[in-house]
């Protein structure tokens, strides 16, 4: 599986928010990671639509986690963001290949997908959250 850049940015949002108890803005996240504020804002919007974060408007507003980090399961987040995560179309679709009826590769790939998602569903945001010190070091090294 290869994740899209959009999913990467969403995961970065979640990790940052899990590290701090404060709200963050798209500008702050873009500065921390050195990425486009436009892409970061799109990631925040999608995370809010999916219910992982909430957006607070006005003075002191920003984005904050809508759930506790230990309640956010990595596999569920990735599946919600990526949608179809199949290694090949034949794993989930019939009649896309002339050898599909006897191909053993399809079964192997289906099992690989199953094992990968099973593992990702054992990992929570709390398990992958960096420390505040690591983010502070990142910010100072970017200047």
| Per-residue tokens: 142 | 């970017």
Q: How far apart are the first and last CA of the chain?
A: 34
pTM of the predicted model as reported, rounded to 2 decimal places: 0.84
Domain ranges of the chain: 1-67+132-143, 73-123
For the segment 90-140, what is each residue's pLDDT rounded down to a tens digit?
666 677 777 777 878 878 888 888 898 899 999 999 999 988 787 777 766
Does residue 20 surpass a pLDDT of 90?
no
Tokens of 85: 């995560």
Alpha-carbon dihedral angle through residues 42, 48, 55, 26, given to the nearest 10 degrees: -30
* 16 neighbors 32 (Cβ within 8 angstroms): yes
pLDDT at 95: 73
pLDDT digits (tens, 9 = 90+) for 22-55: 899 999 999 989 999 999 999 999 999 999 999 9
Give 73-90 pLDDT, tens digit per residue.
999 999 999 987 776 666
Q: Are 68 and 28 in contact (CB under 8 A)?
A: no
pLDDT at position 63: 95
Domain 1-67+132-143 fold: Arc Repressor Mutant, subunit A (1.10.10)
What is the band of 142 on the pLDDT scale with cuts at 50, 70, 90? Answer: low
Question: What is the model's pLDDT at position 6?
Answer: 95
Per-residue model confidence (pLDDT) at position 78? 94
| pLDDT given for residue 60 in this prediction | 83
């Amino acid at each position: 599986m290869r994740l899209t850049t959009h999913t990467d940015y969403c995961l970065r949002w979640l990790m940052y928010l899990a590290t701090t108890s404060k709200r963050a803005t798209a500008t702050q996240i873009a500065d921390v990671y050195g990425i486009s504020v436009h892409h970061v804002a799109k990631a925040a919007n999608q995370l809010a639509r999916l219910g992982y974060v909430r957006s607070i408007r006005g003075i002191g507003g920003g984005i904050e986690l809508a759930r506790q980090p230990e309640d956010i399961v990595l596999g569920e987040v990735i599946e919600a963001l990526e949608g179809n995560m199949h290694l090949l179309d034949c794993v989930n679709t019939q009649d896309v290949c002339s050898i599909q009826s006897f191909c053993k590769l399809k079964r192997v790939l289906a099992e690989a997908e199953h094992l990968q998602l099973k593992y990702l569903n054992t990992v929570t945001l709390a398990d992958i959250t960096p420390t505040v010190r690591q983010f502070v070091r990142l910010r100072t090294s970017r200047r």
